[in-house]
Amino acid sequence: MDKFFLSINNRILLPVVFLGGIVVWFFLCEAHYQSYWNATIYRVQTTDFNLLHHTLPSTLSQLIIAGRDDEVQNVLDSSFGIFGLVVTDPSGESILYKTNKVYHRKSWQSKATPEGLLAEGKKEPFDVLTDPPPLEPVWQHESPRAEAAVRDENASNAGSRVIGHLYYVRPDPPPFLEDLTGFITTDPRELSGAKRGYLFITLTTIGFSLVVILLVFLRQRMVEMRQIELNHIQRELDIRRKALEHLSAELVAQKSRKTWLEREADDSYKRALHLKQSLEKLRDSLALVNANGIERNGGETSQSIKIRPAVHPPSALLEEIEQLIPALTDNAGSLKSQATLLHDYCAILEQRQAEMKNIVENAYTKAQQIPENILDMSPR
């Protein structure tokens, strides 16, 4: 998912979101159009027609019988031209009265013909105007959602003279593109009806598109920051890996040196053992020579005998020096022990001197307290 956000180019993002917003906006507007014109307005007109089925036949019949054509026209024009009301003769072939007003545009006027009224009568049944006027409605709708009116079988107009038919003409909704174009070209301060819904849909789509673009930008920024952090961590890991490799190489070298030192120590130990054995042999030989010399000279000391080989090998002097080393070491040890004894003896003498000084000072102090006729024995 992060790779997808990083691969999005801003030059492509804006046109894609723009086109996607237009498509979504178009489908939402079309759904709103269907909901408004074919659902809300249709149910409102159904409610109006149900009310007119109950009241208008009786009213128009009385006005027609009374010859009040002006009032009949006023009643038909009371719909303001939103839908059509048409009165025909009993045969339905001649139009006697019809709504003359037009609301914004002509929508149902083309249906106000005998042929058009015949087709409309199948959708919305016409009422029969009689003399005397009917007192009960013949048609009624069970609910605003009802698709067609139902006939009341209990209604009876037997013996009445038919004086006309009353048709209810539903207006056709405007075409979708025409209604949408009207929203775009209409002053925003005069929006009403479906146009108000189009405005809300437009604002919602624009806001949603901006939110999508903002979220994509924020996600891209977060991914870039995370990528920078990962690169920094990777560099640190590389540095530490190199340091670890260096330490590993150093450890291998130290192990090799340790092995070499152990081998050298082993060899040195073997040489020391061999040297020790040689010195022991030399000591035994000197002791034997000294013993033989004493016996030959009648008890003279070995100090008068000086053994020197005819030819010294290169290592003879070193062997003599090595022979003197143990004696020098013993002498140094004895001198160190004697120095330690002298140090301890000096410390004891210092301690006794301090004690004698304290005794003399105490005695002098006591002597100061003796009367003058007493012999002064203090040191001078």
At residue 165, what is the residue type? Answer: H
The confidence score (pLDDT) of residue 184 equals: 80
- Higher-pLDDT residue of 347 and 39 is 39
Strand order in the sheet with 84-88: 95-98, 84-88, 161-169, 127-131
Q: Which range is most confident: 36-45, 188-197, 368-377?
A: 36-45
Q: How far apart are CA 241 and CA 342, in angstroms?
A: 63
Q: Do residues 168 and 76 make contact, with C-beta atoms less than 8 angstroms apart?
A: no
Contacts of residue 39, Cβ cutoff 8 Å, sequence gap at least 6:
none
| Mean pLDDT of the 323-335 span | 66
Give the 3-state secondary structure of residue 132. coil
3-state SS, residue 209:
helix
pLDDT over 70 for what percent of the chain? 77
Query: Distance (Å, rounded) from C-alpha 359 to C-alpha 379?
Result: 13
Distance CA 231, CA 239 (A): 12
Residue pair 120/165 in contact by the 8 Å Cβ criterion? no
User: Which residues face 84 on adjacent strands?
Assistant: 169
Please write the tens of the pLDDT for every residue from 142-172: 888 888 888 877 766 655 788 999 999 988 8
Q: How confident is the model at residue 136 (pLDDT cuts 50, 70, 90)?
A: confident
CB-based contacts of 212, cutoff 8 Å, min separation 6: 17
With 70 as the cut, is the pLDDT of residue 319 above it? Answer: no
Q: In the prediction, which pLDDT does 30 show?
A: 92
3-state DSSP assignment of residue 80: coil
CA distance 329 to 235: 61
pLDDT value, residue 293: 60
The residue whose two tokens read 């789509």 is: 205
Strand 161-169 relative to strand 84-88: parallel, antiparallel, unpaired? antiparallel
| 46 contacts 141 by C-beta, under 8 angstroms | yes
Would the pTM count as exceeding 0.75?
no
pLDDT of residue 142: 86
Q: Is 168 exposed, middle or buried (0-12, 13-18, 19+ CB in 10 A)?
A: buried
For residue 57, the tally of other CB atoms under 10 A from its CB is 26
pLDDT higher at 102 or 296: 102
DSSP state of 355: H
The proportion of the chain whose per-residue pLDDT surpasses 90, expressed as a percent, equals 16
Three-class DSSP category at 193: coil
pLDDT tens-digit map of 211-265: 988 888 888 788 888 888 889 999 999 999 998 888 888 888 888 888 888 888 7
Band of residue 375 on the pLDDT scale cut at 50, 70, 90: very low
pLDDT digits (tens, 9 = 90+) for 60-79: 999 999 888 899 999 999 98
d(CA 115, CA 181): 32
| Mean pLDDT (the chain, rounded) | 79
